[in-house]
Every structure is written in structure tokens, then in C-alpha cells.
A and B are shown apart, each in its own frame.
Chain A
Amino acid sequence: MEATAATPDSLESSSRLWSWITTTDHKRIGILYGATAFVFLLIGGLEAMLIRWQLMKPDNDFVSAETFNELFTMHGTTMIFLALMPLSAAFFNFIIPLQIGARDVAFPRLNAFSYWVFLLGGLFLNASFLFGAAPDAGWFGYANLTSIQYSPGVNIDFWAMGLQILGIASLAAAFNFIATIINMRAPGMKLMRMPVFTWMAFITQFIIVTAFPVITVALVFLMFDRMFGANFYNPNAGGDLLLWQHLFWLFGHPEVYILILPTMGMVSEILPTFSRKPLFGYPVIVYSGILIGTIGWGVWSHHMFASGMGAAADTYFGAASMLIAIPTGVKIFNWIATMWGGKIRFTTPMLFSIAFIMLFTIGGISGVMHASPPTDLQQTDTYFVVAHLHYVLFGGAFMGIFGAIYYWWPKVFGRLLNERLGKLHFWLAFIGLNVTFFPMHLIGMLGMPRRVYTYSAELGVGGMNLAATIGALTLGFSTLVLVYNIWHTAAKGEKAGKNPWGAATLEWAMSSPPPVYNFSVIPEVTSRLPLWTVGGMNEIPDVPPEPIHVPGGSYWPVLAALGLVGFFTGALMHSLWVALAAAAVLVVSVFKWAFEPFEM
């Protein structure tokens, strides 16, 4: 396809289904990621509503024990792998190439493959509900509850294979973004001139490529145990149950930073824009991000303080975990200093970002509490930890992502989301999440464990659980306000123009939505804040001075993704023929993809 001045608009020129299925445009793939992840967010949120309805009062029988266990397993798995990570990926896809002045990602078809594997992996995991066999061993799937002896159904197979599928999507995307950020920056876009969102995304990709292989190994062991009678997690045959826990958390703790670092990057874009000041301590924020990502690798066993690792291990993992508070604290102070002396506009993205700082701080403080192993002996596996992790992942990651949705929406779709509805969404979410999650600190300290489908009235936590349920319903409703806002502004939203917020970074130098070729001429930057600096970048004309080659679409990535997921489906069905046929589709697709002519 030759895109010229005559066809400047990628998003509206061809809206046929086929062009979306075969697209390799990072912007369209970003939108696909975002839309899909948002649907999974609604599903995961619905699961949360059902969980809270069950726990509204003691001895409730709204759902059965079996259903409840499926709900909390799928809620955690969905929110982490199908909502938060891909929502971040949506922004990586759409924003990073624009922020670094690139035409696309390094491997556009691999990018499409990542998306389709993610979509099919998410459907694979949720298809378990149709067979009445949703995973039910928790998102952490501790061995040996996941063994064939204690979980004979296919529930765990859906989970273990679903996670492997999703891991492939994440790994492919991570390699792609590393290559993109290293190789495709515009002239003058030195590493230390990159916007902080791109920086945090960059760090995140390195965590993904190092963390996901670890859980893949753990899951392969599990599949060997379940399918071929291996004994990796069978203590009666020389296996070890803590092996799973070490492997899982060696992945699982870095995963926390995979979820939170991109959001820290988003907030680091939004706060300067609406304070009309550069980010305070840019290099320190970048280095502390690297430090968080690095130390995050050495603290995994703080999830296992109750497992009896001994005093030496407890000492090391306790102290190392506390260290993470230092670079995190540094970031928080730098964000406040960014606002200090600024000209603060309280737009919806800014409100979400400020709330991110407030709420993430609370999650950080409670995190230090159970970084202390003796304290953790009371707190681990109680509602205190549920409160902690939701302050980090909802108060932190999701509030930041909501802010980013309002911030970049006009760039992606050319229309602003409604500010009044946005502020309604914000206040409902802010109040709702505090009413939901703050009482959980106390519920846990007063003796309610996690993952229980029922509890005794005599524990005395019924009133607080009712409050949490009311908060959760408020939170659920707030998300519907966002849905309405999207629907409402699709037709009636205010046109955005190039730079509706007066922001400083490169993605705001082009029309909204961006043309298919992104920049009409390759930008050259001389500043970290090209749009706030006189002579910070060259002029980007609205019409390309000469035709720009844009690669066409390809259906091989979709077919390869179908082959991959089909292979796992065959394994799930214990059908060698389905697995082999699907593997053949995968191999042929990858072959055809590799030799596909560049011009189409």
C-alpha cells in the first residue's frame, strides 16, 4: 500500500473487518489490544462483583464453594494477564513508536501475531467456563493442589496451557519493543531524551523476557506431572512442593513490576503536562525505575515467609524487599516536586494521576509491613494482603491506566472524552475503591483469611465486608460511566486537534488520529521536551512532501496464532491428531510469513 497525501488517515480509510484482521499497523493493533483488554477488564470486574456479593454477609450462599473458587482464580488471572498487561500493551503499541518518532514497531507482523495469540489465549482460558471447568486453584496455582490427584478435572489444564499461550504473546511483544526502542528512535532521540513512559516500558520488556521463561518452565513441569506422570511436584516420589513456589514467585514478583512500571511511566507523562513543568529529576526517575526492575528480581521469597525457609533466608528477603521502598519513595517525591511551583490543571487524567500517587503510597506502606517476615506471619494469606495488592494494582496500576486512557484518547481517536463524565468516573472510582479496599486491611488483621467463600459471623467482620461490597458496586458502576463516556463521545466528542493538552512529547506533533505513516517527515529532536523547547524539533508538515511506503497487511500472523492455540487445544483434548494438525498450520504459517514479499 502506498499512503500518500490522498489517503492520510489509517483509522478511517478502510474499516472493513478483513483489514483489521490482517493489519500490521501498530496503531490499529494498539486499538485491538485496548478494546480486547477492556472487555476482559469488564469480565474480571464482573467476577469481582460476584465475589463481593457472596462475601457481603457471613454464611452467605449466593454462590457455591466450587463456583467461588473458580471466580477468585479467574478474577486474578484475568485482571493480571488479560486486562492489566494487555492494557499496558495497548499503550506500548500505540504510543511508543509515536514517542520515539518511528514509522512502526521493528517487527509489525510479529506484533500482529502477539495480539492474536493474546486474544485467542484469553478466549481459551475463558472457554473453560463453557465446559464448567474454570480453573480453581488460585492465580498462583500452588502445587500439589494442582496435581492430577487433587485436581483431576481439566480446570488446571485450561489454566496451565492458557498461561503458556499468553506468555508466548508477551514474550514476542517484549522482544519486539526492545528491538523497536533500541533501533527505531528518530535522529536526536537519545536514550536519555526518551519520554519516561517509553523508558518504563523499555525496562518492563526486559523484565518480561527474563520472568516469563521462568513461569514457562514451572508450567511445563506441571504439564509433565499432569499429562505424563512426572514427579516434579510430588514429594512422595522425591519432588518438592516449594520448587513450584520458588519458580512461580521468581516470575510472580517481577510480574508486579511488569504491571506497575508502565503506569509509573504514564503518570510521569501526565503530571508534567498538567503542571506545565518538566518532570522533576528525570534521570533519577529513570534510574530508580531500572533499580526497581533489578531489585525486583531478588525479593521473590517474601511471598513465602510462612513456608519455613529459615532465619537466614527470611533476613535476606525481608531486607531486600524493604530496599524497594527507597527507589519507589524517590519516584513519589519527584512526582510531587514536579507539581511544586507548577500551573496545575485538574483535568481527568491529572486527577487519576494524583490519585495514583496517593493510593500507591498506601499500597507501598502496607507492602513494607509484610516485607517484615515476623509481621507477615500474621498478615500473609489474609485480607490485609488483598487490601495491599489492590491499593497497588487498582489504586496504582488501574488508576494510572484510566488516567492514560483519558490522556491519550484524543490522540488515538481524534476526539476528547467528556470531562464532566470523566470527573464523575474519577470520583466514583476513587471513593469506591477506598470504601472497598480500606476496610480489608482491618478485616485481615481481625482474622479473615483470603480465598474463603464463607466466614463465620462470630469473626465480627460482617459489617466491614458489607461496606467493601458497597464500595465494589460503586467501583463497578464507575467503570460503566467510562463505557457511557466512550459511547457518548464517539459521535459528540470535542475534536482534539494535534495537541489538546499542550503536552511536550513527540506524539503530540501530528494530527489526531495520526496518519497511517505517523510522521510526514522523520522528526529530528534536539530536546527531551521537543514541543516545549524553541527549536526542539524540525517542522512536521501536515502533508507528506513525498510518498511514504507503508507495509501492507498479512494474514499469516493470524493463522500462526490459530495454529499455536490449536496445538494447545489438541493437548488439552489429549488428541495427538488435533495437536499435529495445528502444529502443521503453525509451521506453514511461520514459513509463509518469513518468505512473504515485503511489497504487497
Chain B
Amino acid sequence: MNLDRRSFRRANQLAVLASAALLLGLAGCQGPFPQSTFSATTELGEDLSGLFWMIFWWGVAVFAVVQVGLIYVMIRFRARPDQPDPAPIHGHTALEIAWTLAPAMIIVFIAVPTIQVIWKEAGTDTANALQVQVIGHQWWWEYRYPEYGIVTANDLHLPQGRPVELQLTSADVIHSFWLPRLAGKRDMILGRTNRLVFTPDSVGEFWGQCAEYCGTSHANMRFRAFVHTAADFDSWVAEQTSAPAAAETLNDLERRGLAAYREVRTPASNSCIACHAIQGISAGVLGPDLNHMGSRSTVAGGTLENTADNLAAWLRDPAAVKPGSLMPNTGLTESEIAGLVAYLHSLR
């Protein structure tokens, strides 16, 4: 059974390579394609792309039969001068039966493996799985790890080799979690919890994006997944569960940022603390948790690298970076922005 599957997977991988080479040749090779569905790194991803390629080759066969047939007919039977009218043939029962059965057979060949994969994924064991609650917001991602008490945003961190069960839901409109190289996609729907179970096999950085149109900045709802070795994952957990540095240890610039962060502004919804949480300072839940903002790879819903300049641009005018952003332009001064950038980056 195991051997069978392995040889199936190998044959599959060969077909994938051949086909991908063909298609990427057409694409002009602009790699590395961080969101490509052609380079799955999990068993789930390989099952999905295995089915795709199987159907793809049936499709190529059908395509070839129809197009070659058409082109042959167009050349062979084009009107010639003085040609008499053709005989009025109205049909042929045996032929009708034949070309009803042929597609029916192909459908069976496609449907059976399809149904096998559906039930295989539905029956995936989640006993030992790392549970991560993934909550979609307009337009960012919240991740909660109940096992470790971690709450974070936009960067999804996963250990290699351990099954993961993502529990997907939404805080507002419908979103769809799509992580092509690891897991395909599942919708995130208010009032429901969907599950996506897979085991990350390879260490690395993987890109994902919201796939369900969710309003103005749908295009800017992106995220990254980082798969770590077990040891690296443990140290990430340790970092994320550590308390933020005490105020006394901050330098002047960072302290200015902390003050700007705590300030109650008018209107009150312009205050950082109204929406964001930092342990010991604020408990906001409307925006991303900022406890370890400095360790994140991106800002603004995964659209910008988390550099000082980008973070400053985001704080200066959120809607310019992410149209429709629910974070208002809070009217920060340049001095406050510089302080906030230093302070937020110190939270690691």
C-alpha cells in the first residue's frame, strides 16, 4: 500500500515536473513563484496537485481529439468547386452511443480518485495536531495558539513534521485562507468554523493571500507562513510568550513611542490603545495584537516588509498603504511616528 502510494507519488512528481517545465516555458520563467500551486510541499498539497495533473492529461487528450478532429474536417471537407451537395445524413445510433460512453468512462476515471481524495482529507487524524485559530479581519489575519497562549497576526509560524489543524473563522465578512504551497484554501465565515489539516514537510517561508473578495482592500490581505524545525519553533514560542521589556529598559526614542502609544487622543478611537493590545498597557481587540510587533516580517496586512520606513509610512497614512483601512489617520506628528517605530520594533 505504502509502496504503491510512493510509486504513484513518484510518477506523479515526474509528470508534474514535465508539465511544469512546459507551462513555465510558456510563462517566460519569472520564478520563484512564492504562491504557485505547482510546487506543493505537503502531502495534502501533493494530493491536490496530483488530481490536477491527472485531470489535466485527460483534458489534453480530449482537447487533442476535438481540435485535431475539427482541423481535419475543416481541411478535408472544405467546399470545392463543382462539388455536388453532400448526402443528407441525419445521424448514426452506434456513433451516438460510442461518444456518450467515451466521456462517461473518462468521468469515471476522474471521479473515482477525486472521491478518494475527498474522503481521505475528511478523515485526517487530528489527535496530536497543533491547533491554530485563524480569524479573518478586514484586512488582516489573526492567529491564536491556545496550546501556548500566543496571539499574533499576519505571520503564521508552524513546526515542521507535526500535523496542524487550522480552525478558520471570521470576525466580519467572508474571507478565504489560501496557502497554495501547503494547503489549498478554505473559506472563513462568521458564525462557522472550517478546518484545514495538513503536515508541513519542509522548512521555509511560504506566501498566502485572502482568496474571497472581502471589500476594498481584498488585494492587500496577504500573509506569510514560516515553517520551522521543531527546535526553532520552540524558541519562537519562547520569544512570543515572553513579557515585553519593562519601560525602564527603553531608550529615549522608544520611550517617546511608548508615550505616544498610551496617549488618549480625540476622538478616542484615534488612540492606539483603543484597538491594539500590548501586555500590561492595553487590551484592544479590534486591531492586531502588538506584543511582539518587532518580530513580524510585514506590516499593513502582509503588504509591506516590516522596515522602519514602511512602518512609518503606514502610521503616517494607513489608507494610502491599504485603501479603506479601518485604522484611521490618527494625526501623529513626525516625532511621535519616529518614536512609535522605534518602540514597536523593540517589541520582539
Is B104 within 8 A of A326, CB to CB? yes
Is B117 within 8 A of A459, CB to CB? no
Give chain A residues whose Cβ lies under 8 Å from the Cβ of B172. 144, 150
Is B118 within 8 A of A315, CB to CB? yes
Is B66 within 8 A of A341, CB to CB? no
Choose the segment among A100-108, A353-361, A410-418 that binds chain B (4+ C-beta atoms closer than 8 Å). Answer: A353-361
Give chain A residues whose Cβ lies under 8 Å from the Cβ of B194. 307-308
Interface of A is mostly: helix
Docked complex: A267-282 residues within 8 A CB-CB of B = 275-278, 280-282
Docked complex: B128-172 residues within 8 A CB-CB of A = 138, 172
Candidates A315, A334, A354; contact of B70 at CB < 8 Å: A354
Is B35 within 8 A of A447, CB to CB? yes
A337 within 8 A of B: yes
Is A66 within 8 A of B216, CB to CB? yes
Give chain B residues whose Cβ lies under 8 Å from the Cβ of A361. 62-63, 66-67
How far does the alpha carbon of A509 sit from the alpha carbon of B206 in the complex, in Å? Answer: 66
Is A65 within 8 A of B217, CB to CB? yes
Give chain A residues whose Cβ lies under 8 Å from the Cβ of B67. 358, 361
Give chain B residues whose Cβ lies under 8 Å from the Cβ of A282. 90-91
How far does the alpha carbon of A382 sit from the alpha carbon of B176 in the complex, in Å? Answer: 11
Is A449 within 8 A of B211, CB to CB? yes
Is B52 within 8 A of A461, CB to CB? no
Is A357 within 8 A of B209, CB to CB? no
Is A447 within 8 A of B33, CB to CB? yes
Is A447 within 8 A of B207, CB to CB? yes
How far does the alpha carbon of A148 sit from the alpha carbon of B303 in the complex, in Å? Answer: 28
Give chain A residues whose Cβ lies under 8 Å from the Cβ of B138. 150
Is B107 within 8 A of A372, CB to CB? no
Is A343 within 8 A of B118, CB to CB? no
Choose the segment among B108-116, B231-239, B270-278, B332-340 that binds chain A (4+ C-beta atoms closer than 8 Å). Answer: B108-116
B79 within 8 A of A: yes
Is B83 within 8 A of A343, CB to CB? yes
Q: Please, how many residues of chain B have a CB less than 8 angstroms from a CB on the other chain?
A: 95
Give chain A residues whose Cβ lies under 8 Å from the Cβ of B212. 142, 306, 381
Rounded to whole Å, the gap between the CB of A316 and the closest CB of chain B is 10
Rounded to whole Å, the gap between the CB of A334 and the closest CB of chain B is 8
| B189: nearest chain-A partner, CB-CB | A241
How far does the alpha carbon of A430 sit from the alpha carbon of B144 in the complex, in Å? Answer: 51
| A443: nearest chain-B partner, CB-CB | B27
Instruction: Identify the interface centre among A325, A346, A447: most chain B CB within 10 Å of its CB.
Output: A447
Is B26 within 8 A of A442, CB to CB? yes
A-contact bits for B32-45, CB 8 A (1 contact / 0 none): 11111110000000
Give chain B residues whose Cβ lies under 8 Å from the Cβ of A442. 23, 26-27
How far does the alpha carbon of A358 sit from the alpha carbon of B217 in the complex, in Å? Answer: 37
Choose the segment among B6-14, B94-102, B260-268, B285-293 that binds chain A (4+ C-beta atoms closer than 8 Å). Answer: B94-102
B210 within 8 A of A: yes
B-contact bits for A346-380, CB 8 A (1 contact / 0 none): 10000000100110011001101100111101111
How far does the alpha carbon of A434 sit from the alpha carbon of B48 in the complex, in Å? Answer: 27
A450 within 8 A of B: yes
Candidates A334, A358, A374, A529; contact of B114 at CB < 8 Å: A374
How far does the alpha carbon of A145 sit from the alpha carbon of B136 in the complex, in Å? Answer: 13
* A: interface residue count bin: 35 or more
A480 within 8 A of B: no
Give chain B residues whose Cβ lies under 8 Å from the Cβ of A548. none
Candidates A240, A343, A378, A456; contact of B86 at CB < 8 Å: A343
Candidates B37, B77, B117, B185; contact of A306 at CB < 8 Å: B185
Is B184 within 8 A of A374, CB to CB? yes
Is B37 within 8 A of A280, CB to CB? no
How far does the alpha carbon of A576 sit from the alpha carbon of B39 in the complex, in Å? Answer: 58
| B194: nearest chain-A partner, CB-CB | A308
A330 within 8 A of B: yes
Is B37 within 8 A of A445, CB to CB? yes
Rounded to whole Å, the gap between the CB of A186 and the closest CB of chain B is 22
Rounded to whole Å, the gap between the CB of B150 and the closest CB of chain A is 25
Given contacts A330-B103, A358-B67, A445-B38, contact A344 B59 (CB under 8 A): no
A284 within 8 A of B: yes
| B219: nearest chain-A partner, CB-CB | A452
Is B27 within 8 A of A450, CB to CB? no
Candidates B99, B110, B211, B218; contact of A330 at CB < 8 Å: B99
B-contact bits for A143-169, CB 8 A (1 contact / 0 none): 011000010000000000000000000
Is A377 within 8 A of B77, CB to CB? no
Candidates A144, A308, A373; contact of B192 at CB < 8 Å: A308
Give chain B residues whose Cβ lies under 8 Å from the Cβ of A150. 138, 172-173, 215
Instruction: Identify the interface centre among B114, B186, B194: most chain A CB within 10 Å of its CB.
Output: B114
Give chain A residues whose Cβ lies under 8 Å from the Cβ of B51. 372, 374-375
Give chain A residues whose Cβ lies under 8 Å from the Cβ of B47. 374
Is B91 within 8 A of A281, CB to CB? yes
Is A314 within 8 A of B118, CB to CB? yes
Is A342 within 8 A of B86, CB to CB? yes
Candidates A280, A374, A448; contact of B117 at CB < 8 Å: A374
A311 within 8 A of B: yes
Instruction: Identify the interface centre among A341, A344, A449: most chain B CB within 10 Å of its CB.
Output: A449
Give chain B residues whose Cβ lies under 8 Å from the Cβ of A346. 74, 78
How far does the alpha carbon of A502 sit from the alpha carbon of B198 in the complex, in Å? Answer: 63
B230 within 8 A of A: no
Rounded to whole Å, the gap between the CB of A492 and the closest CB of chain B is 26
A329 within 8 A of B: yes
Docked complex: A255-292 residues within 8 A CB-CB of B = 275-278, 280-284
A578 within 8 A of B: no
| B45: nearest chain-A partner, CB-CB | A378
Give chain B residues whose Cβ lies under 8 Å from the Cβ of A365. 59, 62-63
Give chain A residues whose Cβ lies under 8 Å from the Cβ of B111. 318-319, 322, 372
Is A329 within 8 A of B99, CB to CB? yes
Is B100 within 8 A of A336, CB to CB? no
B203 within 8 A of A: no
| A438: nearest chain-B partner, CB-CB | B26
Is B88 within 8 A of A345, CB to CB? no
> Measuring CB to CB, which residues of chain A are less than 8 angstroms from any residue of chain B?
64-66, 69, 137-138, 142, 144-145, 150, 235-236, 240-242, 275-278, 280-284, 306-308, 310-311, 314-315, 318-319, 322-323, 325-326, 329-330, 332-334, 336-337, 339-346, 354, 357-358, 361-362, 365-366, 368-369, 372-375, 377-382, 439, 442, 445-456, 458-464, 529, 532
Q: List 24 A-B contacts (CB under 8 A).
A: A137-B213, A145-B173, A241-B191, A281-B92, A306-B212, A315-B115, A329-B102, A334-B91, A339-B73, A340-B73, A342-B86, A343-B79, A361-B66, A365-B63, A378-B52, A379-B52, A380-B185, A380-B211, A381-B185, A381-B213, A439-B26, A442-B27, A446-B33, A460-B32
User: A326-B107, A374-B47, A446-B38 known; 5 other A-B pairs, CB under 8 Å?
Assistant: A235-B191, A281-B95, A332-B66, A365-B59, A379-B52
Q: What are the 3 tightest A-B residue pairs by CB atom distance, in nearest-first order?
A: A447-B35, A235-B191, A377-B184
